[in-house]
Amino acid sequence: MDRLIALIADDHPEWRAIITRILSPIYEVIGFAERGDQILELAIKLRPHVITLDVSMPVLSGLMLCPICGPHCRQL
């Protein structure tokens, strides 16, 4: 099986770094975003297996993005 890929969305760089360290043994982190609209664009383009979403981000919150991004993820 190919390595699983992930996107990380958080408006705080220190949290993006922590989440990357946590995910890196299993997932290849292929993209980051600071705003909700950015992660949506990446999800449509890159079709990751997993997206981590900050609940409170500029433009679109993680809660608003869950049902929107889900269909753009690959099946595990």
Tens digits of per-residue pLDDT, 20-72?
A: 999 999 999 999 999 999 999 999 999 999 999 999 888 888 889 888 888 87
Residue 22 to residue 69: CA distance in whole angstroms: 22
Domains and CATH numbers, the chain: 4-72 (3.40.50.2300)
Quickly count: other Cβ atoms within 10 Å of residue 38's Cβ.
18
- Looking at residue 1, its pLDDT comes to 57
3-state secondary structure of 16: helix
- Looking at residue 4, its pLDDT comes to 94
pTM (2 d.p.) = 0.87
